[in-house]
Structure 1
Amino acid sequence: MSSPTRQVLRKKNPLFYAFCPDYPDVMKRRLEVRPAHFARVEEDKKAGIFEFGRGMLPPPSSPLHTHPALPEGVQAMSGSIMFFRLPTLEDAWKRVKEDVYWTEGIWDKEKTVVGEFIKGPGDE
C-alpha cells in the first residue's frame, strides 16, 4: 500500500493515547526488552497506526536518574506515552496489551490509561 493511501486510511481512524507508567524498580528489565518494544513500534509505523511515542522522564528528584542498571548516556524512564490511529478503543487496548512492556510486567497495569482524543482539523 502506498504511503499516501496509508495516510488517508490512518486519518479516518480515531486518535488514541496510551499513558503507561512503569512499575517501581523495573529499569533493568525495561532496558532488556526495549529492542522488542522498538521492533513492534517499527511494525506499527509501517502499518500506519503509530503516530508518536516516547519514554517519560521521572521527576528530577527520582532515584531512577542514578539507577545502577542505567547505562551511561541513557536517560532514566518512568513509563511511556504513545499515540495510535486505530478503529476502536478496544483495538487501542489490544495493542497496548500486546506490547512487550505489558507482557513482561514493565508497565503498571493498574495505572495504565488508554483513551481517545476528539477529532481535530484534518481528521475525517
Structure 2
Amino acid sequence: MATLPPSRPCPCGRTGAAQKPLPFSGCCGRYLDLFETAPAPDAESLMRSRYCAFVAEHADYLLATWHTSHRPASIEFDPGVKWLGLEVRSHRQLDATRAEVEFVARQKAPGSPAVRLHERSRFVREEGRWYYVDGDIA
C-alpha cells in the first residue's frame, strides 16, 4: 500500500473554494484513514475515495466499502499502473438508500497506452454507510 501525503492535492480531483484542489487529508484521506468513524457521506464521496484507494493500492478499504453481495475475496493490483485522473460525470440519488455515479477514470500500465474506464456505478446505503455494489461499463 502506498502512502499519499496528507497535504498533496487529493487524487479524486475535488476542488473547494476558488476552485482550488482540496488536500488529500481534507478530502478522501479522512475516509481512508478513519474508516470506522468517518464514513463517506454520500455515494459520490465514496466513489471518489475508492478511486483514491486504487491510487494508494489500499485493498482493505476497497473490500470494506464493497457490498457483500458482490465483494470479491481479494483484490490484486497490476504492478506499475499509474492512475492519471478522475472525472465525475453525474451523481444521482435515487432514494434514501440507492444512488448512481457515472465517472471516467484514466490509468496507464507500463509499456501500454493510457486507457479510460467509463462506468455507471450503483451504490446502496445500509446502517448509515454507503457501499459500492456494481457498475456497467460504458
Q: TM-score, normalised by structure 2?
A: 0.26
> Bigger radius of gyration, 1 or 2?
1
TM-score norm. by structure 1 comes to 0.28
Counting strand residues as a fraction of each chain, which structure ranks higher?
Answer: 2
Between 1 and 2, higher relative CO (CA 8 Å, sep ≥ 6) is seen in 1
